[in-house]
Structure 1
Amino acid sequence: MATELDDGTLDRPVLGDSTRVRPEQIADDAQALQAAQRLAEVFAAEAAARDRERRLPWAELDAFVASGLWGITVPRQYGGAGVGSRTLAEVTAIIAAADGSLGQIPQNHFYALEVLRVGGRPDQQRFFYERVLAGDRFGNALAEIGHKDFKRRTRFTRSATSWQIDGRKFYCTGALFAHWIPTLAIGEEEGRDVTYLVFVPRNAPGVEVIDDWDGFGQRVTGSGSVQFSQVRVEPEWIVPFQASFERPTTIGPFAQIIHAAIDLGQARGALQAALQFVRERSRPWIDAKVEHASQDPLTITQFGDLAVRLSAAEALVRRAGRFVDAAQAEPTERSVAQASIAVAEARALTTTVSLDAGSRLFELAGTAATLDDLSLDRFWRNARTHTLHDPVRWKYHAVGNFYLNDKLPPRHGAL
């Protein structure tokens, strides 16, 4: 278990595999926000070094789980805090402002919990909720590269005695650190292919997690590959997935509001870094005829513009959270569509502001901010990498089509 040292950093034991940390019990939304603020202060201290050195955040993740934050969406009837989507988004943004990679790693953990809430049987919910409250963390193995043919995608098949999974996945954020890897797999049901989410134990025979993520951003999210070779799974670990999109559910907007929160947090982090650098290190432009860069009227104006748009993005994320909560409470075709549109509006702006904040940091701070040892470029690199999860241009299309033609958006995890 990671422990906090006197200087506020975390010790980092060498771990051969993911460990289990018995979490604190978070009771409500206020306590969740307080825990996130405490952790963010510790996580921020070495975020630049972790990114620069590609240092995997094992100790930080142990502390993250130990705080109880990974269990905050477990419903109250199962012993969790059952926090609202607005609170989950703010917790995510707080952590992402400190470290964009640590903000993203739990995204699919919470996504899997939502799939379980929507489509899991009570016995499955009880089992996995208990595991999460005991300290288990979920990764993901959802995406594949190049396999348009369903027959070649990751599949699970049934023999006379068991079920097994075979296939390969990529962009498997968090799988490296996980105890369970929720995996999209295709099985045959009544002569047709159907997609399920299968919770696969990280240490099951035939599972190989490969740390081959080399993207220029989100460097330590563990977003590499997972290979499944005749991996035996139990039927109790198989949760309907495709069926959950054949009726109105909040899986899509729930997933997307966490993505919006990650971008929001990275924009906050970039803005704070820019403010600090300009106050403490930047030199004023000669034509401004001021003593300090923070007195430059054009610089002041640029910061004002960025702050206004960041505030607007924060407001849209909070608003989207209310729509998602309402749709979770009463999922109808209209309420889920409204939640998806509200989240798409938020994502459109958080995408823009996170990229702009990461770029303007250098414009406003000056050449000295580009020195490699500062790693200030991580804010833009992280934002650019994360905002590519799904194209923002389609968010605008969905929003416009909804208001202009009353066209309800498609139901899937990317909108």
Structure 2
Amino acid sequence: MNAIVKDNRRDTTQATALIQSDAQALEVAEELAAIFVREAAERDRERRLPHAELEQFSRSGLWGITVPKEYGGADVSAATLAKVVARISRADSSLGHIPQNHYYALELLRLNGSPVQQQRLYAEVLSGARFGNAHAELGTRTAQDRATRLRHDGSGYRIDGRKFYSTGALFAQRIPTSAVDEDGVLQFAFVPRSASGLKIVDDWSGFGQRTSGSGSVIFDNVRVEADDIVPLQPVFEHPTRLGPFAQILHAAIDAGIARAAYEDTLAFVREHARPWIDSGHEQASNDPLTLAEIGRLTARLHAAEALLEEAGEVLDQVQDEANASAVAAASIVVAKARAITTEISLNAASKLFELSGSRATLAAHNLDRHWRNARTHTLHDPVRWKYHAIGNYYLNDTLPPRRGTI
């Protein structure tokens, strides 16, 4: 599928709710998740893009919960944000994934945006606007390199380049993108969806996260105004929490997938598994091997969720008083959460088949989507480098690199 998408289907006739507290954010996430899970399997099977669900999602106010209080938002904690993302991802991991870069853009705006930019862009979000993503590129020497260029054009700029794995762009009103200016400095442009020369291509064909709309974005001489440009490079030259902030959201997505696979395993085994042949009982729970595996999964899942919550709490401590050692410590605890949630999401999704048998693979159940989603999303950045950074930190007192993948 290589359709160029022109309609992001935003309903401007309905008001967007304003969430005012962490508790309210969690309550709304719970209510939405109960709705989103109902047709999650069908959306995945049919690759039915969740336009209506995303409209409901953003109108709920959850896309504005990280906006600072002085600009009208709830400014929820990182721990709460991670719980919200995990809860939505547990219902439908594509829906949990889509706003990840939206929250990333809002965090960068908090760190490097001017007060005028913050006032204007935060107001857009609180009124229901969704920000997408156009960062990753193919063909560069490393994942951090950018070939997309930003050049002066009168009072504004022009952007040329191509991006892939642009989760969220398909459904967004603005497409934040990273580009290198004429001085070789990395900038962040909040490009309006309506900009001439901007093309969003629905060419995402991954076997997992199928409805995340993670296709390509093409910038062909796209005009962007100077007041839509925010510096990006300084957040990696000085200690900030942007990198671990991005990573905790990915960890939350994986935790949500793990929880969904775990709960579907329990439900399927209770309903379908044959009784242990030697027990004489009609309950699958008498099988000691099944019990041991469920026990192991339970312990690992609870440990992953606890580490995710701890990572959020540590991340909140460095929001306003960032220094090299504090940011490094936050990056490491988030890396631990990211590593463990990667492993438990894959393990829980795989054990689902082992414990449920061949009936779990029937298309009618579509339970394989959990493994497909976990396998696809956990490839976002290599977990082996997180263990390398963690070991180097504890053994050699070496601070992790400042970038969005640690």
Q: State the TM bucket, normalised to the shorter chain.
A: over 0.9
Change in 2 beyond 3 A, CA 1:146/1:288 = farther
1:184-208: CA deviation from partner (whole Å, max 9, x where unpaired): 111023xxx0111100011211111
Question: In structure 2, what residue type is equivalent to 1:174?
Answer: G
1:288 Cα shift?
A: 5.1
Measured in 1, the distance between the counterparts of 2:36 and 2:304 equals 24
Equivalent residues in 2 for 1:257-406, closer than 5 Å: 257-287=248-278, 289-406=280-397
Question: In structure 2, what residue type is equivalent to 1:172?
Answer: S
Q: Which residue of 1 aligns with 2:156?
A: 162
Q: Which residue of 1 aligns with 2:45?
A: 52
Q: Which residue of 2 aligns with 1:8?
A: none
| C-alpha contact 2:186 2:231 (8 A) present in aligned 1 | yes
Question: In structure 2, what residue type is equivalent to 1:266?
Answer: I
* Alignment gaps of 5+ in structure 2: 1-5
- Alignment partner of 2:231 out of 240, 243, 246: 240
1:266 Cα shift?
A: 0.5
Name the SS of the counterpart of 1:205 in structure 2.
Answer: coil
Question: In structure 2, what residue type is equivalent to 1:246?
Answer: E
1:348 Cα shift?
A: 1.0
Name the SS of the counterpart of 2:178 in structure 1.
Answer: strand
1:91 and 2:88 are equivalent in the alignment: no
Measured in 2, the distance between the counterparts of 1:83 and 1:353 equals 26
Name the SS of the counterpart of 1:286 in structure 2.
Answer: coil
Q: Which residue of 2 aligns with 1:61?
A: 54
1:392 Cα shift?
A: 0.4
1:336-384: CA deviation from partner (whole Å, max 9, x where unpaired): 0010000001111100100000000011111111101211000010001
Measured in 2, the distance between the counterparts of 1:237 and 1:161 equals 12
Q: Which residue of 1 aligns with 2:125?
A: 132
Q: Which residue of 1 aligns with 2:185?
A: 194
Name the SS of the counterpart of 1:342 in structure 2.
Answer: helix
1:161 Cα shift?
A: 4.9
Deviates more, 1:296-305 or 1:330-339: 296-305
Name the SS of the counterpart of 1:219 in structure 2.
Answer: coil
* Alignment gaps of 5+ in structure 1: 1-14
1:171 and 2:165 are equivalent in the alignment: yes
| C-alpha contact 1:401 1:407 (8 A) present in aligned 2 | yes
Measured in 2, the distance between the counterparts of 1:370 and 1:285 equals 21
Q: Which residue of 1 aligns with 2:103?
A: 110
Deviates more, 1:395-404 or 1:19-28: 19-28
Q: Given the two structures, how large is their TM-score scaled by the length of structure 1?
A: 0.93
Name the SS of the counterpart of 1:372 in structure 2.
Answer: coil
Name the SS of the counterpart of 1:223 in structure 2.
Answer: coil
1:85 Cα shift?
A: 0.2
1:76 and 2:66 are equivalent in the alignment: no
Calculate percent identity across the aligned residue pairs.
Answer: 59
| C-alpha contact 1:18 1:179 (8 A) present in aligned 2 | no
Report runs of 4+ in structure 1 exceeding 2 Å deviation.
Answer: 15-18, 147-152, 159-162, 284-290
Name the SS of the counterpart of 1:168 in structure 2.
Answer: strand
